[in-house]
Every structure is written in C-alpha cells, then in structure tokens.
Amino acid sequence: MKVLTVGDIHLKPWILDNVDNAIEKHNPDKVILLGDYFDDWDSTILDYKNMSDRLDKFIIKHGDKIVLMYGNHELSYLLPIHCSGYNYYVKDIVRDFCSRYKLNYIFETDNIYWSHAGITQRWYDIWIRPDNNKNDWNSNGLRQQKWNSAGPMRGGNDTPSPLWADMSELIDDPWKSNKCKSQIVGHSPISEHVFHNNIVFCDTLSKTSKYDMIEGKWRYKFLLTDTKTGEHTLVE
C-alpha cells in the first residue's frame, strides 16, 4: 500500500491544493492527515470557517482515501481542559467538523503506526499493555486521561500521550515492539522532515509565534510510504 502523509495544517487551506497535486501525481492508496487542522497564532473566525469548508471539499473529492487523525487542538474543543490556541468563539465550528467525520487516535497498516504525536513506551505500558487489545487503540474511554495527557516538555506533569508527546519525549522513550516497523507523527514543528531511527517527524508546515514559518520557509513536501517495504520518500 502507498500512503501519503500530511503534517499539521493549522488553518492553511491552500496546503490541500498541494496535497491534491501530490495525489494526482502519485496516486496513493491512502492519504493520512495527522491532525491539528485548526488554531494558529494569527487567526480569525473566518479562517476556521474557510478551513472547515476546504476540508469538506477535500474529503468529498477523495472519499475513502482520506484518513483523519485527531490532533491535540481538535481534542481541546471536545474536553473541558483546553490547550493553547483554544478560541471559545469557534468551538462550534471545530466540534461540528469532528462530529461529521471519523477521526482516529491511532492508524495502523502493515505494522506502521500513524498518530499525531507518537506512541511512547510508558504510555503503551499504562494504557494498552494490560489487555493488549488492538481494538482499544481508538477507544474514547477515559478520553481525558488516556489521550489528553501531556509530559513536562509540553507543560504537563503526566505521561505523554499520542496526541501530546513532544519530539524529545518520543525520541527518549519510543514504543519498542516487533509489531511496530515505524511510527509517523506530526505535532513538533520542524523546518524539514526528520528521520530518527524508525520514527518520521512530519510537522513541517507550522508557524512560529511571530507568524513566520519555521526558519522562514515552507516545506511543501509530503511523505510517501510503501507500507510493504517500509520505504519512505519525500514528494511534492
């Protein structure tokens, strides 16, 4: 299977134009959006409406190819505890979007795992190992504790979850299993894709708090993965 992965979009609907072009050029079997479609440093209510509308058109156009992941910024609008960037005035826009589609916490095929921020060993040991039931990956049970917990590098004092693990926390404590050929994640802003052991970091589309792109450049490249061979290629 060929899978195209798109990092955090954060209210930049025109990125999906680039994704459309990449889909036409490379014809992937699946296109995975790693979450954080909403919230940005310099955003308006109209930005949220435009992003939601563009996502609707994109999903309708490509149908079953599209796999949507939760980001911490989506989950923030569904829980009583909010992350930075939360905007009370747009909560209904984000909640309506999340209710229209199936969003995943974890997606797996051929022992490659996608999530917004990555699976740490500590989180796996606490939440998955006790029953080792794959069907539990995307359960909403105990959503606050299971999925919305942040570690010290993201301002929390809990176990870094697959929606909150910082790049450094995932590198220090990756899930180690013969079931996991590799992990593909977003969440930690970088100027270009980072390949570290069996983890690929893809959040190359984010801005700094000064509204500039990371290191002043946008990287309109996406990750194309052959899930059978485990080979990763950067494409446009």
> What pLDDT is stored for residue 80 in this prediction?
84
Compute the Cα dihedral for 172, 173, 177, 181 and give only its sign.
Answer: negative
> What pLDDT is stored for residue 86 in this prediction?
87
Residue indicated by tokens 């708090």: 209
Evaluate if residue 48 carries a pLDDT over 90: yes
Residue 160 sits at the vertex; the CA angle it makes with 191 and 233, to the nearest 5 degrees, is 35
Which domain does 181 fall in, by range? Answer: 2-115+177-235
Q: How many residues does the chain have?
A: 236
Percentage of residues in the chain having pLDDT higher than 70: 89
Task: Convert 138-151 into a string of H (helix), E (strand) and C (coil).
Answer: CCCCCHHHHHCCCC
> What pLDDT is stored for residue 77 in this prediction?
94
Is residue 141 domain-resident? no
> What pLDDT is stored for residue 223 in this prediction?
97
Q: How many domains does the chain have?
A: 1
The crossing angle, in degrees rounded to 10, of helices 91-100 and 45-62 is 10
> What pLDDT is stored for residue 143 in this prediction?
63
Integer angstrom CA distances of residue 39 from 49, 74, 127, 221: 12, 9, 28, 21
Integer angstrom CA distances of residue 210 from 39, 48, 146, 206: 15, 20, 32, 11
Q: How far apart are CA 213 and CA 236, in angstroms?
A: 18
Q: How confident is the model at residue 156 (pLDDT cuts 50, 70, 90)?
A: confident
Is residue 24 domain-resident? yes
Integer angstrom CA distances of residue 145 from 72, 81, 148, 157: 13, 11, 6, 12
> What pLDDT is stored for residue 130 in this prediction?
63
> What pLDDT is stored for residue 6 in this prediction?
98
Q: How far apart are CA 226 and CA 205, in angstroms?
A: 23
Residue 60 sits at the vertex; the CA angle it makes with 233 and 227, to the nearest 5 degrees, is 25
* Residues 195 and 202: beta-carbon distance below 8 Å: no
> What pLDDT is stored for residue 83 in this prediction?
82
Evaluate if residue 217 carries a pLDDT over 60: no
Query: Which amino acid, one-letter code, is at 231?
Result: E
The torsion angles phi and psi of 214, rounded to 5 degrees, stand at: -55, 125
Q: How confident is the model at residue 109 (pLDDT cuts 50, 70, 90)?
A: very high
Two structure tokens written together for 177: 């299993």
Is residue 108 domain-resident? yes
Is residue 171 domain-resident? no
Is residue 16 domain-resident? yes
CATH number at residue 18: 3.60.21.10
Which residues are CB-contacts of 47 (< 8 A; sequence separation ≥ 6)? 11, 40
Q: How confident is the model at residue 3 (pLDDT cuts 50, 70, 90)?
A: very high
Is residue 60 domain-resident? yes
Q: How confident is the model at residue 146 (pLDDT cuts 50, 70, 90)?
A: confident
Is residue 126 domain-resident? no
Is residue 164 domain-resident? no
